[in-house]
Amino acid sequence: MLAALLALPGCKREGEASAGARLALDAAIPAEFPRETRLSIGDPTVQKQLQLSGDIDRLPFRVDWQNISGGPQTVEAFRAGALDAGAVGDTPPIHATFTGLDVKIITVQVREKPIYELATAPGVRLASIQDLRGKKIAYSPGQAQGALVQRVLNKAGLSPQDVTLVQLSSSEFKEALTSRQVDVAPLSGIILLRYLNEYRAEGASSIPHGVRDNLSFFYVRRAVLENADKAAALAEYAKWRTRAQLWAYEHPEAWIEAYYVKDQGLTAREGRFLIESAGKPHYPADWTEAIALTQETVDLLAEASGQKRFEARTIFDLRFQTIGAEVAGAAQGAGPTDRPATAGRSTP
């Protein structure tokens, strides 16, 4: 069933002319596109998953893979016209819209467990989020980590004036902790694991933050979707992307060895911990909840930054809404699961 689903919207025959027509954003996405259709994609982890699963050579379009991910890099590449689509957390599309960049979200993924924890500098004690008062906190306004900090402060009943926000890029958070430039920083995945392994003996630690942070998006420049061939190819990519992510989840040992051990330099035990910490990926067939959560973030960031509020639903392209769930359902031989199970925190 999954193979049939992936094969449904096909390519035009080799040599068949493509009109390359302009496509309205409320028009149905075409079912066909030329094989020579080319996309510039920044999705490094999925690229690796596609390679390992063997699907990368089966993609029915051309891809210029870019080693780009995260908000600042994708926004910069979007503005330069060097990137068609990129993988990010839940905040970069909001920040891009605040800054006048016209983008659309075309896939929504819900992680089963939280992405971030609040890591502390060696020697800093943090028992709960209320203890953030008076702390220096790493803050990246254009990334998911920035919105997370705002949500955590809001939940703790604190304002930005109750703490010191130290503006940094997320790539600088770990070093800022080790140098005591900040007291607290949201870290995730490999960076969190490596930081705790290296500095736990000196008093570094982390705590759960207790707010929703498990959304991630794949988004594109609006102009790309106005190209009929590229829009059709992106609908196909959304299918293969979901398939690749599920392949990694369903083949954990192969993924651990090829990616976490050989590519990222971790031990197999550490890779296994990271997979268990993430849980199973989910692909909602209805984006209503994701839009509502995004609206909350829009409102929070608009108030905190003075940016003009906008309707979150305007940055979601609902023509892509059911693609991930359909592929996931076909892969499982059953209907998609829209809501992930609640799971506790694990330790390495």
pLDDT (mean) for 129-139:
96
pLDDT at 115 over 90: no
| pLDDT for 305 | 83
pLDDT at 113 over 90: no
* Locus of tokens 């028009």: 27
Q: What is the distance of C-alpha 108 from the center of its chain?
A: 8
Any idea what DSSP says for residue 127? Answer: S
136 within 8 A of 182, measured Cβ to Cβ? yes
| pLDDT for 72 | 85
pLDDT at 76 over 70: yes
Can you tell me the distance from the alpha carbon of 239 to that of 250, in angstroms, rounded to the nearest whole number? Answer: 16
Confidence grade of residue 35 (pLDDT, cut at 50, 70, 90): very high
pLDDT (mean) for 239-244:
97
Of 115 and 100, more confident: 100
SS3 call for 22? strand
Confidence grade of residue 192 (pLDDT, cut at 50, 70, 90): very high
Beta-bridge mates of residue 336: none
Can you tell me the distance from the alpha carbon of 263 to that of 274, in angstroms, rounded to the nearest whole number? Answer: 14
For CA atoms 28, 314, 41, 193, give the dihedral sign: negative
- Residue 164's CB is within 10 A of a number of other CB atoms, namely 13
277 within 8 A of 346, measured Cβ to Cβ? yes
- Residue 260's CB is within 10 A of a number of other CB atoms, namely 23
For residue 27, give every residue at least 6 positions away whose Cβ sits within 8 Å of its Cβ, in sequence order, or none: none
pLDDT (mean) for 314-326:
97
270 within 8 A of 348, measured Cβ to Cβ? yes
